[in-house]
Protein backbone atom coordinates (compact mmCIF):
# COMPACT_ATOMS: atom_id res chain seq x y z
CA UNK A 1 0.00 0.00 0.00
CA UNK A 2 2.82 2.39 0.94
CA UNK A 3 4.54 1.65 -2.38
CA UNK A 4 1.33 2.43 -4.28
CA UNK A 5 0.97 5.79 -2.50
CA UNK A 6 4.56 6.73 -3.37
CA UNK A 7 4.04 5.77 -7.01
CA UNK A 8 0.83 7.80 -7.11
CA UNK A 9 2.62 10.86 -5.69
CA UNK A 10 5.45 10.50 -8.21
CA UNK A 11 2.93 10.16 -11.05
CA UNK A 12 1.15 13.35 -9.92
CA UNK A 13 4.45 15.23 -9.70
CA UNK A 14 5.39 14.14 -13.22
CA UNK A 15 1.96 15.06 -14.54
CA UNK A 16 2.16 18.50 -12.91
CA UNK A 17 5.66 19.10 -14.28
CA UNK A 18 4.51 18.15 -17.76
CA UNK A 19 1.51 20.45 -17.53
CA UNK A 20 3.75 23.33 -16.45
CA UNK A 21 6.22 22.93 -19.32
CA UNK A 22 6.20 26.11 -21.36
CA UNK A 23 7.94 27.03 -24.60
CA UNK A 24 9.45 30.40 -25.44
CA UNK A 25 10.09 31.96 -28.84
CA UNK A 26 12.14 35.17 -28.78
CA UNK A 27 12.46 37.27 -31.93
CA UNK A 28 14.89 40.10 -32.54
CA UNK A 29 13.95 42.73 -35.12
CA UNK A 30 17.25 44.49 -35.77
CA UNK A 31 17.20 48.28 -35.36
CA UNK A 32 13.57 48.45 -34.19
CA UNK A 33 13.09 51.71 -32.28
CA UNK A 34 10.95 51.74 -29.14
CA UNK A 35 8.55 54.24 -30.73
CA UNK A 36 7.96 52.61 -34.11
CA UNK A 37 4.57 51.33 -32.83
CA UNK A 38 3.66 54.96 -32.05
CA UNK A 39 4.99 56.34 -35.33
CA UNK A 40 3.50 53.69 -37.60
CA UNK A 41 0.51 51.37 -37.70
CA UNK A 42 1.41 48.11 -35.98
CA UNK A 43 -1.85 46.33 -35.13
CA UNK A 44 -0.21 43.10 -34.01
CA UNK A 45 2.33 44.78 -31.73
CA UNK A 46 -0.58 46.77 -30.30
CA UNK A 47 -2.41 43.49 -29.73
CA UNK A 48 0.63 42.06 -27.96
CA UNK A 49 0.65 45.11 -25.68
CA UNK A 50 -3.05 44.61 -24.85
CA UNK A 51 -2.76 40.88 -24.30
CA UNK A 52 0.67 40.84 -22.69
CA UNK A 53 3.54 43.11 -21.74
CA UNK A 54 5.01 46.17 -23.40
CA UNK A 55 8.18 47.98 -22.38
CA UNK A 56 11.11 50.00 -23.62
CA UNK A 57 14.44 48.22 -23.45
CA UNK A 58 17.82 49.95 -23.12
CA UNK A 59 20.69 48.50 -25.18
CA UNK A 60 24.24 48.14 -23.98
CA UNK A 61 27.10 50.31 -25.19
CA UNK A 62 27.98 50.50 -28.00
CA UNK A 63 24.47 50.28 -29.44
CA UNK A 64 25.55 48.00 -32.28
CA UNK A 65 24.20 44.73 -33.69
CA UNK A 66 26.75 42.06 -32.78
CA UNK A 67 27.59 43.36 -29.28
CA UNK A 68 23.92 43.65 -28.28
CA UNK A 69 22.65 40.39 -29.70
CA UNK A 70 25.43 38.60 -27.88
CA UNK A 71 24.64 40.61 -24.74
CA UNK A 72 21.03 39.41 -24.83
CA UNK A 73 22.27 35.85 -25.31
CA UNK A 74 24.79 35.93 -22.44
CA UNK A 75 23.58 38.59 -20.01
CA UNK A 76 27.00 40.24 -20.16
CA UNK A 77 27.81 43.74 -21.37
CA UNK A 78 30.08 43.85 -24.45
CA UNK A 79 33.05 44.88 -22.33
CA UNK A 80 32.71 41.57 -20.47
CA UNK A 81 31.76 39.11 -23.23
CA UNK A 82 34.40 40.43 -25.63
CA UNK A 83 32.42 41.37 -28.74
CA UNK A 84 33.08 45.03 -28.00
CA UNK A 85 31.95 46.33 -31.42
CA UNK A 86 30.95 45.07 -34.85
CA UNK A 87 34.66 45.34 -35.66
CA UNK A 88 37.65 45.86 -33.40
CA UNK A 89 41.38 45.24 -33.03
CA UNK A 90 42.38 42.24 -30.94
CA UNK A 91 45.81 42.96 -29.45
CA UNK A 92 46.36 39.33 -28.44
CA UNK A 93 45.83 37.97 -31.96
CA UNK A 94 47.05 41.15 -33.63
CA UNK A 95 44.16 41.08 -36.07
CA UNK A 96 40.91 42.90 -36.73
CA UNK A 97 37.67 41.09 -35.87
CA UNK A 98 34.90 41.89 -38.33
CA UNK A 99 31.33 40.63 -38.15
CA UNK A 100 31.32 40.12 -41.95
CA UNK A 101 34.69 38.34 -42.04
CA UNK A 102 34.04 34.58 -41.62
CA UNK A 103 37.57 33.83 -40.39
CA UNK A 104 37.02 35.99 -37.31
CA UNK A 105 33.24 35.87 -36.96
CA UNK A 106 33.29 32.06 -36.79
CA UNK A 107 36.17 31.85 -34.31
CA UNK A 108 34.58 30.70 -31.05
CA UNK A 109 37.53 31.93 -28.98
CA UNK A 110 36.40 35.52 -29.55
CA UNK A 111 33.11 34.90 -27.74
CA UNK A 112 33.17 35.01 -23.95
CA UNK A 113 30.41 34.26 -21.51
CA UNK A 114 27.85 31.50 -21.89
CA UNK A 115 24.90 31.91 -24.28
CA UNK A 116 21.50 30.95 -22.95
CA UNK A 117 21.27 28.01 -25.37
CA UNK A 118 24.44 26.51 -23.85
CA UNK A 119 23.16 27.05 -20.30
CA UNK A 120 19.84 25.42 -21.22
CA UNK A 121 21.37 22.42 -22.96
CA UNK A 122 23.74 21.77 -20.06
CA UNK A 123 20.57 21.36 -17.99
CA UNK A 124 18.83 19.02 -20.42
CA UNK A 125 16.74 21.47 -22.46
CA UNK A 126 16.79 21.46 -26.24
CA UNK A 127 17.05 24.77 -28.10
CA UNK A 128 16.52 26.03 -31.63
CA UNK A 129 18.01 29.04 -33.35
CA UNK A 130 17.67 30.90 -36.64
CA UNK A 131 20.51 33.39 -37.25
CA UNK A 132 20.91 34.86 -33.75
CA UNK A 133 24.45 36.20 -33.37
CA UNK A 134 26.77 33.44 -32.16
CA UNK A 135 24.27 30.62 -32.60
CA UNK A 136 26.18 28.83 -35.37
CA UNK A 137 29.49 29.12 -33.51
CA UNK A 138 30.55 26.40 -31.09
CA UNK A 139 30.83 28.63 -28.02
CA UNK A 140 32.13 26.45 -25.18
CA UNK A 141 32.17 23.66 -27.76
CA UNK A 142 28.39 23.60 -28.15
CA UNK A 143 25.85 24.66 -30.77
CA UNK A 144 22.09 24.96 -30.26
CA UNK A 145 20.29 21.67 -30.80
CA UNK A 146 18.94 23.03 -34.09
CA UNK A 147 20.43 26.02 -35.89
CA UNK A 148 21.06 27.66 -39.25
CA UNK A 149 24.53 28.47 -40.57
CA UNK A 150 24.76 32.25 -40.93
CA UNK A 151 27.11 32.20 -43.93
CA UNK A 152 25.19 29.58 -45.89
CA UNK A 153 23.63 31.01 -49.05
CA UNK A 154 20.93 31.51 -50.03
CA UNK A 155 19.81 32.65 -46.60
CA UNK A 156 16.30 31.74 -45.50
CA UNK A 157 13.62 34.26 -46.43
CA UNK A 158 11.38 35.86 -43.82
CA UNK A 159 8.59 33.32 -44.23
CA UNK A 160 11.07 30.44 -44.42
CA UNK A 161 12.50 31.50 -41.06
CA UNK A 162 9.04 31.45 -39.51
CA UNK A 163 8.38 28.07 -41.13
CA UNK A 164 11.61 26.73 -39.64
CA UNK A 165 10.56 27.85 -36.15
CA UNK A 166 7.19 26.14 -36.54
CA UNK A 167 8.83 23.00 -37.95
CA UNK A 168 11.02 22.72 -34.84
CA UNK A 169 8.04 23.19 -32.54
CA UNK A 170 6.07 20.48 -34.38
CA UNK A 171 8.72 17.88 -33.63
CA UNK A 172 7.82 15.07 -31.22
CA UNK A 173 7.95 16.30 -27.65
CA UNK A 174 11.16 14.44 -26.88
CA UNK A 175 12.92 16.25 -29.74
CA UNK A 176 11.19 19.61 -29.43
CA UNK A 177 13.18 22.72 -28.42
CA UNK A 178 11.81 24.56 -25.42
CA UNK A 179 13.59 27.79 -26.43
CA UNK A 180 13.70 29.10 -30.00
CA UNK A 181 15.52 32.29 -31.00
CA UNK A 182 14.88 34.06 -34.32
CA UNK A 183 16.44 37.06 -36.05
CA UNK A 184 15.33 39.47 -38.79
CA UNK A 185 17.56 42.23 -40.19
CA UNK A 186 15.03 44.16 -42.29
CA UNK A 187 14.18 47.08 -40.00
CA UNK A 188 17.89 47.83 -39.56
CA UNK A 189 18.50 47.74 -43.32
CA UNK A 190 15.62 50.10 -44.07
CA UNK A 191 16.42 52.42 -41.17
CA UNK A 192 20.00 52.80 -42.40
CA UNK A 193 19.12 53.14 -46.06
CA UNK A 194 16.09 55.44 -45.87
CA UNK A 195 16.15 56.79 -42.26
CA UNK A 196 13.72 55.81 -39.51
CA UNK A 197 11.31 58.55 -40.64
CA UNK A 198 10.65 57.42 -44.21
CA UNK A 199 7.82 55.85 -46.16
CA UNK A 200 10.08 52.92 -46.99
CA UNK A 201 10.70 52.25 -43.30
CA UNK A 202 7.00 52.66 -42.54
CA UNK A 203 6.21 49.93 -45.08
CA UNK A 204 8.97 47.72 -43.66
CA UNK A 205 7.55 48.05 -40.14
CA UNK A 206 4.09 47.14 -41.46
CA UNK A 207 5.51 44.02 -43.12
CA UNK A 208 7.29 42.96 -39.95
CA UNK A 209 4.15 43.51 -37.89
CA UNK A 210 2.25 41.26 -40.31
CA UNK A 211 5.07 38.71 -40.21
CA UNK A 212 4.93 38.55 -36.42
CA UNK A 213 1.17 38.03 -36.63
CA UNK A 214 1.84 35.18 -39.08
CA UNK A 215 4.27 33.66 -36.59
CA UNK A 216 1.80 34.08 -33.72
CA UNK A 217 -1.00 32.45 -35.69
CA UNK A 218 1.34 29.56 -36.45
CA UNK A 219 2.13 29.22 -32.76
CA UNK A 220 -1.58 29.31 -31.94
CA UNK A 221 -2.15 26.40 -34.32
CA UNK A 222 0.08 24.13 -32.23
CA UNK A 223 -1.70 21.61 -29.99
CA UNK A 224 0.13 23.12 -27.00
CA UNK A 225 -0.52 26.76 -28.03
CA UNK A 226 -1.57 27.74 -24.51
CA UNK A 227 1.95 26.85 -23.33
CA UNK A 228 3.88 29.10 -25.74
CA UNK A 229 5.38 32.50 -24.89
CA UNK A 230 6.32 34.95 -27.63
CA UNK A 231 8.84 37.75 -27.03
CA UNK A 232 9.67 40.38 -29.66
CA UNK A 233 12.60 42.70 -28.97
CA UNK A 234 15.53 44.38 -30.70
CA UNK A 235 19.23 45.12 -30.37
CA UNK A 236 19.31 48.91 -30.80
CA UNK A 237 17.34 51.82 -32.20
CA UNK A 238 18.07 54.15 -35.11
CA UNK A 239 18.78 57.88 -35.43
CA UNK A 240 18.92 60.22 -38.40
CA UNK A 241 22.31 61.46 -39.57
CA UNK A 242 23.42 63.55 -42.54
CA UNK A 243 26.51 64.40 -44.56
CA UNK A 244 26.73 67.89 -43.04
CA UNK A 245 27.08 66.56 -39.47
CA UNK A 246 30.57 65.08 -39.61
CA UNK A 247 33.39 65.70 -37.16
CA UNK A 248 36.69 65.17 -39.02
CA UNK A 249 39.57 63.89 -36.89
CA UNK A 250 42.23 62.31 -39.11
CA UNK A 251 43.66 65.65 -40.20
CA UNK A 252 44.42 66.40 -36.55
CA UNK A 253 46.45 63.23 -36.02
CA UNK A 254 49.89 62.28 -37.24
CA UNK A 255 49.98 58.84 -38.83
CA UNK A 256 52.75 57.66 -36.52
CA UNK A 257 50.52 58.33 -33.50
CA UNK A 258 48.13 55.43 -34.12
CA UNK A 259 47.90 51.99 -35.69
CA UNK A 260 44.16 51.95 -36.46
CA UNK A 261 41.03 54.08 -36.34
CA UNK A 262 38.10 51.70 -36.38
CA UNK A 263 34.52 52.84 -36.94
CA UNK A 264 32.86 56.21 -36.61
CA UNK A 265 30.14 55.57 -34.03
CA UNK A 266 32.04 55.44 -31.80
CA UNK A 267 35.48 55.78 -33.33
CA UNK A 268 38.00 53.56 -31.58
CA UNK A 269 41.58 54.76 -31.91
CA UNK A 270 44.32 52.23 -31.23
CA UNK A 271 47.35 54.37 -30.51
CA UNK A 272 51.07 53.87 -30.32
CA UNK A 273 51.67 53.80 -26.53
CA UNK A 274 54.00 56.77 -26.50
CA UNK A 275 51.52 58.92 -28.45
CA UNK A 276 48.29 58.17 -26.59
CA UNK A 277 48.33 61.53 -24.81
CA UNK A 278 49.11 63.28 -28.09
CA UNK A 279 46.00 61.78 -29.69
CA UNK A 280 43.84 62.64 -26.69
CA UNK A 281 44.95 66.27 -26.47
CA UNK A 282 44.53 66.74 -30.23
CA UNK A 283 40.86 65.71 -30.04
CA UNK A 284 39.54 66.43 -26.55
CA UNK A 285 38.19 69.93 -27.26
CA UNK A 286 36.31 69.11 -30.47
CA UNK A 287 32.64 70.06 -30.65
CA UNK A 288 29.81 67.52 -31.05
CA UNK A 289 31.85 64.61 -29.67
CA UNK A 290 33.01 63.28 -26.33
CA UNK A 291 36.60 62.03 -26.20
CA UNK A 292 37.89 59.67 -23.52
CA UNK A 293 40.91 57.64 -22.66
CA UNK A 294 39.52 54.14 -22.23
CA UNK A 295 40.00 54.18 -18.45
CA UNK A 296 38.01 57.43 -18.23
CA UNK A 297 34.88 56.25 -20.03
CA UNK A 298 31.90 57.02 -17.73
CA UNK A 299 30.97 54.12 -15.47
CA UNK A 300 27.34 54.07 -16.67
CA UNK A 301 28.51 52.90 -20.12
CA UNK A 302 30.21 49.81 -18.62
CA UNK A 303 32.97 49.99 -21.20
CA UNK A 304 36.75 50.27 -21.33
CA UNK A 305 38.25 47.44 -19.27
CA UNK A 306 38.49 44.99 -22.17
CA UNK A 307 41.84 45.08 -24.02
CA UNK A 308 39.94 45.03 -27.32
CA UNK A 309 38.51 48.50 -26.64
CA UNK A 310 40.44 51.31 -28.33
CA UNK A 311 42.91 53.40 -26.34
CA UNK A 312 40.92 56.53 -27.20
CA UNK A 313 37.14 56.55 -27.75
CA UNK A 314 35.46 59.33 -29.74
CA UNK A 315 31.68 59.22 -29.25
CA UNK A 316 29.59 61.65 -31.34
CA UNK A 317 26.56 63.46 -30.02
CA UNK A 318 23.21 62.21 -31.29
CA UNK A 319 22.92 62.76 -35.04
CA UNK A 320 26.64 63.32 -35.61
CA UNK A 321 29.36 61.02 -36.95
CA UNK A 322 33.12 60.92 -36.83
CA UNK A 323 34.41 61.32 -40.36
CA UNK A 324 34.87 58.02 -42.13
CA UNK A 325 34.91 57.91 -45.92
CA UNK A 326 32.50 59.72 -48.20
CA UNK A 327 29.38 57.58 -48.05
CA UNK A 328 26.69 58.63 -45.60
CA UNK A 329 23.47 56.72 -45.01
CA UNK A 330 20.58 58.66 -43.45
CA UNK A 331 20.22 56.30 -40.48
CA UNK A 332 22.79 55.24 -37.89
CA UNK A 333 23.21 53.73 -34.43
CA UNK A 334 25.99 53.21 -31.91
CA UNK A 335 25.24 56.31 -29.86
CA UNK A 336 24.95 56.53 -26.09
CA UNK A 337 22.14 54.08 -25.19
CA UNK A 338 20.56 56.61 -22.83
CA UNK A 339 19.37 58.52 -25.91
CA UNK A 340 15.73 57.62 -26.59
CA UNK A 341 16.52 57.08 -30.28
CA UNK A 342 18.77 54.14 -29.37
CA UNK A 343 16.19 52.37 -27.21
CA UNK A 344 14.01 49.56 -28.49
CA UNK A 345 10.58 47.99 -28.42
CA UNK A 346 9.85 45.04 -26.16
CA UNK A 347 6.66 42.98 -26.37
CA UNK A 348 5.82 39.68 -24.70
CA UNK A 349 2.71 37.55 -24.34
CA UNK A 350 1.88 34.03 -23.32
CA UNK A 351 1.12 31.99 -20.21
CA UNK A 352 3.97 33.41 -18.13
CA UNK A 353 3.33 37.09 -18.81
CA UNK A 354 0.87 39.52 -17.27
CA UNK A 355 -1.86 40.90 -19.50
CA UNK A 356 -2.04 44.57 -20.44
CA UNK A 357 1.03 45.35 -18.36
CA UNK A 358 3.19 48.41 -19.09
CA UNK A 359 6.55 47.43 -17.62
CA UNK A 360 9.27 49.89 -16.57
CA UNK A 361 12.30 50.39 -18.78
CA UNK A 362 14.95 47.74 -18.33
CA UNK A 363 18.44 46.90 -19.61
CA UNK A 364 18.95 44.25 -22.24
CA UNK A 365 21.50 42.43 -20.04
CA UNK A 366 18.48 41.09 -18.14
CA UNK A 367 17.03 39.23 -21.14
CA UNK A 368 19.24 36.24 -20.27
CA UNK A 369 17.85 36.22 -16.72
CA UNK A 370 14.30 36.41 -18.07
CA UNK A 371 14.84 33.46 -20.42
CA UNK A 372 16.46 31.41 -17.66
CA UNK A 373 13.45 32.08 -15.43
CA UNK A 374 11.01 31.07 -18.18
CA UNK A 375 12.95 27.84 -18.73
CA UNK A 376 13.25 27.15 -14.98
CA UNK A 377 17.01 26.69 -15.26
CA UNK A 378 19.89 27.88 -13.10
CA UNK A 379 21.53 30.88 -14.79
CA UNK A 380 25.20 31.72 -14.99
CA UNK A 381 26.40 34.83 -13.18
CA UNK A 382 25.71 37.84 -15.42
CA UNK A 383 25.55 41.63 -15.48
CA UNK A 384 21.75 41.54 -15.51
CA UNK A 385 19.28 40.70 -12.80
CA UNK A 386 15.93 38.96 -12.66
CA UNK A 387 14.55 41.71 -10.41
CA UNK A 388 14.57 44.08 -13.39
CA UNK A 389 12.13 41.93 -15.35
CA UNK A 390 10.24 39.67 -12.96
CA UNK A 391 7.59 42.37 -12.48
CA UNK A 392 6.22 41.44 -15.92
CA UNK A 393 5.75 37.79 -15.00
CA UNK A 394 2.76 36.06 -13.45
CA UNK A 395 4.19 34.97 -10.11
**Predicted local confidence at residue 19, as pLDDT:** 43
% pLDDT > 70, the chain: 94
**Predicted local confidence at residue 325, as pLDDT:** 54
Give residue 243's pLDDT band: very low, low, confident or very high (50, 70, 90): confident
At 303-327, the pLDDT tens digits run 999 999 999 999 999 999 998 655 6
CATH code reported for the domain at 246-328 = 3.30.1360.180
β-bridge partners, 138: none
The pLDDT of residue 289 is above 50: yes
Distances (CA, A) of 118 to 50, 73, 324, 384: 33, 10, 38, 17
**Predicted local confidence at residue 191, as pLDDT:** 98
**CATH classification (class only), 20-239+336-392:** alpha beta
**Predicted local confidence at residue 18, as pLDDT:** 43
**Predicted local confidence at residue 10, as pLDDT:** 42
At 359-369, the pLDDT tens digits run 999 999 999 99
Instruction: 188-193: list long-range contacts, CB under 8 Å, 24+ apart.
Output: 188/30, 188/31, 188/32, 188/65, 188/238, 189/30, 189/31, 191/31, 191/33, 191/238, 191/331, 191/333, 192/31, 192/238, 192/329, 192/330, 192/331, 192/332, 193/329, 193/330, 193/331
The pLDDT of residue 337 is above 50: yes
Peptide bond into 68 cis (omega under 30): no
Residues 382 and 369 sit within 8 Å (Cβ to Cβ): yes
Give residue 20's pLDDT band: very low, low, confident or very high (50, 70, 90): confident
Residues 296 and 282 sit within 8 Å (Cβ to Cβ): no
**Residue ranges covered by each domain of the chain:** 20-239+336-392, 246-328
Give which of 291, 288, 283 is closest to 254, Cα–Cα: 283
Distances (CA, A) of 167 to 154, 161, 170, 177, 272: 19, 10, 5, 10, 53
How many CA atoms lie less than 13 Å away from 223 in the CB half-sphere? 5
**Predicted local confidence at residue 395, as pLDDT:** 78
Residues 127 and 145 sit within 8 Å (Cβ to Cβ): yes
At 73-113, the pLDDT tens digits run 999 999 999 999 999 999 999 999 999 999 999 999 999 99
At 169-202, the pLDDT tens digits run 999 999 999 999 999 999 999 999 999 999 999 9
Strands 258-262 and 179-184: unpaired
The pLDDT of residue 38 is above 80: yes
Taking each helix axis from N to C end, the angle separating 367-375 and 65-74, rounded to the nearest 10 degrees, works out to 40
Amino acid sequence: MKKQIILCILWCICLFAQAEKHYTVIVSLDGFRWDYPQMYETPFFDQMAREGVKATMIPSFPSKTFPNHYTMATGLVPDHHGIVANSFWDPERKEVYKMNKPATRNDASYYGGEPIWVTAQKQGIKTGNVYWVGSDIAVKGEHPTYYQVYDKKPRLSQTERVAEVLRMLRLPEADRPQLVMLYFEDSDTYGHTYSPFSQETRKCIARLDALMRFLWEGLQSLPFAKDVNLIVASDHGMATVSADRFVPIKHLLKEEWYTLIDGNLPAQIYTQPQFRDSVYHALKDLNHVRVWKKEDIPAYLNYGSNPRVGDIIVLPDLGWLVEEGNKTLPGAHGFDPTYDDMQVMFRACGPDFKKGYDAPKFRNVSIYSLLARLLHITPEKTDGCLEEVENMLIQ
